[in-house]
Amino acid sequence: MSIKIGDGFRSRWDDGIMDLVSKMESFNMNDSLQQHGNAWNHTYNMTSGIVASDVGNTEYSNSLPVIGSIERYYILFILILGFPGNLASIVTILKMSRLKSSTFYIAALSVVDNVALILKTIFMELLHHPNAFSVAGCRFMCFFGLVTAAFSNWILVAVATERFMAVRFPLKVASIWTLRRTVFLVCVIFSCLCVLHLHIFWTMVNSVNGCDYSADYRDFTTEYWYWISASVYAFIPCTVLIMFNFLIVYSIQQSSKVRRHLAMNSGSSKKAQRSGSGSHDNHITIMLVTVTIMFVILTIPRCVVMLVIKAGPPQSPQEHVQRRVLDVLTSMFADSNHAVNFYLYFFAGRQFRYQFLKTMFGHRRDSNNSITTNRSTLAAREEEMIVMTRDRDCHPNHL
């Protein structure tokens, strides 16, 4: 009887020990996964200003490293694609013609895009090294990263405004939108964005896995700054660009009629001069409208995801992983805006494409043209001498 009681007690004791060990192992696994998930996910997204704190689950643990790798390395691909293109845009646009408001926007946009790509690449790489950021490093990188990303979008807003003025008031835009005023406007936009983001220098702190807002300002950052940052970065630029693109397309027909009417009533030399100037403005308009349309296409998905993230926490681990995938993909689309402009200029602008090819292969082409011209001249002279000789042989009395 005692043996049976002892066996039963020992059996219940062993079962209890095994159950406790199983629970501890489960707890340790979940805690490890939680830390692993936070290492990838509890970071400050420099593009959108979102701080995501996700909950891991063993069922979806394999997805987290894949998502983290995509998030880490896609910006390197965009940098390799965009940095040389932006440099080529600067060189090409400065050689197309004298610096004007429209060409200044293109050059400024290329510079800002390259700075934004460099800052984002450095930031995303340092996020994967624990304790890589100091408090000052977090504040510096997040401040200038957010400012340059938003600044690039607002340069496009200024571009769309200037292009609308060019097609709506073609005779007045040169006097209204001067180069000096354009530079002043760009400086004002940059200053306003800096003032708007100044709070980062006291609300942002560092953490083991990246940067985060201080708990003392949690209400402000989650309830107010989230919407302010999202609006300045994406919502307002998208809305304004959509509106101006419709207005530009609507006004192009009327401006074309005005140009034709003025050309018909002018002299031949003035007509040719205005026709060339109008053709140049039309090419610039096509290039910049193409860029703004691409910006809207690549940014709208980011706007939708930002609204979904703010709507509430995920209801299941599967939804959590889906949100992380969408967050990374839409960030990739939005960051691509800093890299695709040169290729849009190249395919949409005939004069830009011609100037770029001339800049890259101009010396070789000029030398080939000179050789061809010399050969043609020599051939023409030889043919002329042959004809003169035949005429002299046919008419000896004329000698």
CATH number at residue 256: 1.20.1070.10
Q: Is residue 330 part of a domain?
A: yes
- In the chain, the amino acid numbered 354 is Y
pLDDT band for position 363 (cuts 50, 70, 90): low
What is the Cα–Cα distance from 302 to 334, expressed in whole angstroms?
7
Q: Is residue 384 part of a domain?
A: no
Mean of pLDDT over the chain? 76
The residue with tokens 């707890």 is 27
Select the highest-mean-pLDDT range: 139-148, 202-211, 321-330: 139-148
CA distances from 249 to 69, 105, 279, 285 (A): 41, 20, 16, 10
Q: Is residue 60 part of a domain?
A: no
pTM comes to 0.73
Q: Is residue 301 part of a domain?
A: yes
- Number of domains comprising the chain: 1
Sign of CA dihedral 13, 16, 21, 22: positive
Q: Is residue 264 part of a domain?
A: yes
- What ranges in 208-267 are assigned the alpha helix state H? 218-220, 226-230, 236-264
- Give strand pairing partners of 162: none
Q: Is residue 17 part of a domain?
A: no
Residue 28 burial (CB count, 10 A): 10
Cβ atoms of 331 and 298 closer than 8 Å: no
- The length of the chain in residues reads 399
Q: What is the pLDDT of residues 74-128, one digit of tens each?
A: 999 999 999 999 999 999 988 877 788 888 999 999 999 999 999 999 998 888 8
What is the Cα–Cα distance from 252 to 205, expressed in whole angstroms?
50
Q: DSSP readout, 174-195?
A: HHHS-HHHHHHHHHHHHHHHHH
Residue 188 is encoded by which pair of tokens?
């004002």
pLDDT greater than 80 at residue 49: no
pLDDT in the model for residue 103: 87
What is the Cα–Cα distance from 384 to 376, expressed in whole angstroms?
12
pLDDT greater than 70 at residue 18: no
Residue 166 is encoded by which pair of tokens?
């060019």
pLDDT greater than 50 at residue 188: yes
pLDDT in the model for residue 371: 46
Who contacts 292 (Cβ-Cβ below 8 Å, separation ≥6)?
A: 156, 159, 160, 241, 244, 245
pLDDT greater than 90 at residue 195: yes
Q: Which residues of 138-171 are buried (b: 16+ CB within 10 A; e: fewer)?
A: bbbbbbbbbbbbbbbbbbbbbbbebbbbbbbbbe
Who contacts 294 (Cβ-Cβ below 8 Å, separation ≥6)?
A: 337, 340, 344
Give the strand pairing for 210-213 and 204-207.
antiparallel
pLDDT greater than 80 at residue 164: yes
Q: What is the pLDDT of residues 270-311, one digit of tens each?
A: 444 444 445 556 777 788 888 989 999 999 999 998 888 877
More confident residue, 70 or 375: 70
φ/ψ region of 69 (left if φ > 0, alpha if ψ in -120 to 50, else beta) reads: alpha
pLDDT greater than 60 at residue 36: no
**Structural domain boundaries, residue 334:** 71-348
Q: Is residue 52 part of a domain?
A: no
The residue with tokens 């082409």 is 365
Collapsing DSSP to helix, strand or coil, 42 comes out as coil
Cβ atoms of 255 and 170 closer than 8 Å: yes
What is the Cα–Cα distance from 194 to 144, expressed in whole angstroms?
8
pLDDT in the model for residue 15: 46
